Structure 1
Amino acid sequence: MRCLESAEVTYYRGNDLLPSTGIVLKNVGKSIVRILDIDDLSTHSRHVDQIQFQVPGCFHKSPLLVPGGRVFVWPGIQRVERMPLNTMTLIIESPRIYTQLGVPITVTGVAQVKINGSNQEMLAAACEQFLGKSENEIREIAQETLEGHQRAIMGNMTVEEIYKDRKKFSKAVFEVASSDLVNMGISVVSYTLKDIKDDEGYLRSLGLARTAQVKCDARIGEAEARRDAGIREAEAEKQRVAGKLLNDIEISKSKRDFELQNAAYEKEVQSRKAESELAYELQAAKVKQQIKEEEMQITVLEKTQQIQVEELEIVRQERHLDATVRKPAEAERFRLERLAEADRLRLTAEAEAEAEAIRLRGLAEAEALKAIAHAEAEQMAKKAEAWKNYQNVAKLDMVLQSLPKIAAEISSPLTKCDKVTMICTGEGDIGVSKLTGELFTIMNSLPNLIHTMTGLDIYKNIKTI
């Protein structure tokens, strides 16, 4: 018997009988069926729902995967196993998971997953992983996988990031879970963050801060709205008042035109009436009018002349002001300027004269000093010449004449002392004799001192006299 691995056959639903030549299926939808080589496949009535077939090959051929379609199944030789391909809705709840900053929150997500029947590799992987398992078992495996990835993403994000950017969190879970579940043949159709709960009050604190900010913004917006409304009301009131004033002006103009026109009509009527009934009075009125006009002209002329007189008075007052105030002020200013200039010239001349006097005085003092120096030089020269002509006797005479003066100068300090205290610790004279002896000692040393300084030997010259 030849095994047909795939062919178009008739679909039997409900209590339809499978023919003895094989299982006939049609429009099989979204379940998977695997057919194995066994001998106990019955041919009685069967109920086949939406399935996908996997038919093992006959005579050592590879199995056939049928994700919807038709196939012959040999009774007693092959067995059909089913695996659902419909979309499964999973509620992923992660209770009290610590986020990046250590805040525990509970996150609930909703995922839509299904076994991908359009990709042969993923379909084969799904058959390998889940064939023979119920839908609840497949659902549990997918749910555990998604929850693990959801926990991992929560640990890498802060509460603020998860709360404020749900799309980012959902995208991260979707991408990580998809790359893992695809190896099982399961594709993640969608993932949505459904709910975030917080037992510690962290989200409530964030909400309170945001609520306070929103209320503050609302109050600010309300105040700004009131301000704008007041501005618009004031602007509208301004436009209303301006419009009312314009309307009043137009009404006044209309009244004026009406009254003028009415007066003109009245004048014309009265003129005609006067012409017809009171010609004399009209003529008298005309004369009076002419008189009034003449009077007005006279008044205008008088006003004109008065204006001219006032203008002349203004000119006169200005000239009087020039003569009595401005001119004297200018003359006084000119006088003060001349006086200041004269003082400046006088001070300059005095300073120059003083400088000249100082210069001349300096020259005179210089000449005097020069003359004094010259006289002293001549005197010194004459003294030097005289000293050359002096003999030792004359020199001795000068020295002897100077000795009393020297003695007086030596003893003069003693005349200024109120009290003299003398202390003697050795032998010899004491008292006044001691002091007198010391003075004579000083006087006796003078000849030797003079001989040392001038070369004149007083003792020798005295002996030669």
Structure 2
Amino acid sequence: MPLQMLITVCIIVVVLFAALLAILGRYRKCPADKILVVYGKVGSNKDGTARTAKCIHGGAAFIVPVIQSYQYLDLTPISISADLKNALSKQNIRIDVPSRFTVGISTEPGIMQNAAERLLGLKLSEIQELAKDIIFGQLRLVVATMDIEEINTDRDKFLASVSNNVEIELKKIGLRLINVNVTDINDESGYIDALGKEAAAKAINDAKKSVAEKNRDGEIGQANAQRDQRVQVAAANATAIDGENAAKIDVAQSEANRREKEAESLRLATAAEAVQAAKAKQEAYVAQQLAEKTRAELEKATQEADVIVKAEIDKEQAEIQAEAEAEVMRRKARGEADAIYAKMEAQARGAKEILERQAEGIRALVEAAAGDPKAAVQLMIADKLEELVKIQVEAIKNLKIDKVTVWDSGAGGKGEGKSSTANFVSGLMASIPPLHELFKQAGLDMPSYLGTESKPEAEAIVAVDTAPTQQEEQDLPEA
């Protein structure tokens, strides 16, 4: 039994180890001189379209079995010899441009994706031929836009134009231009050689002129000494010179006729080449126009699909968001209603508690008064008596009277023995509501120890005696 368990454990360990090795075997590292291209199901782009491949440079990736596979793109530079022959320049002169280009697969993200889509699976020789065709076409295009003098003298401008044009076209297939080297440029008509000879002759003539100017002063003296001899020699040689000039005229006329014939032949050949080149360009433009129309229709269909899908997604998102906002508003309203209900319930419980406490206090007060409600009320009034008197006194506290003028004849008011001023002040105090009136309005009787109704409260509170005068003028301060 223990032996069987040991065998089972060993089998499980072996299976797990084999599975681990299989998983680790699908992990691929990318060397520095290569690009790892993973294809199959590799996700989608930012715009939602499916990705054709995933390119990795300088890293590693796990290759999912069954649904993914991989290949490598070599970053080794490719040297291309582009010896352009009979390229037509802007002056309609054919020239030879021997050059060498060095290209390689680009590691920029977007261009690297183009290389994965267009160069994956091609051999190095096939990639070289494809790049060579692009280089020849762009090189001819640059030569056709420049003069021979400009190509020969301003070599930097020529190389910059070639590099820009070739670089743009190579990026479309995932390549980048590393180096351009153009050697001597030749033409079949000898125009460039003639330009060189002209420059050399000009330099030689300038040098001779400088030497002659330096030696002029010394030669003048020698010329004066030999003048007579030269005059005689010239007279003797005049006849021979006439014969030589006649022969030279014949030779020059023959040379002029030859050059005229050659120029006419060259003109006819150049015109024929221009006509054929124009026809070739016309056919190329027609083909390019058809290709552009097809590409425009494809892009239009792609854009329409993207817009419709995006609109449907936006519509669903808007509906989901509206439903979520409505649910939030409903939950918020239920929460606010619950809060208001809790608040009102708490206020009601507080009011009930206050009323119950007041009822208990009044019940205790009645019990203290031996069950007599009037006695209980009198106890409550006795407790608040100070405040009631204060309120009664303050009834005229804020009454402002700057000046009171009283015309008094000196006699008492209606036989009471008081002056008019005293009667005025007594009447003012009598305007205060009496306590017994307040008690009556409350349905109670004022205790006897607080006074009776038969005695006027104005006389009990204030007694004012005034001396009999014909006219009294008093200034009362502000209360």
What is the TM-score normalised by the length of structure 2?
0.36
**TM-score normalised per structure 1:** 0.37
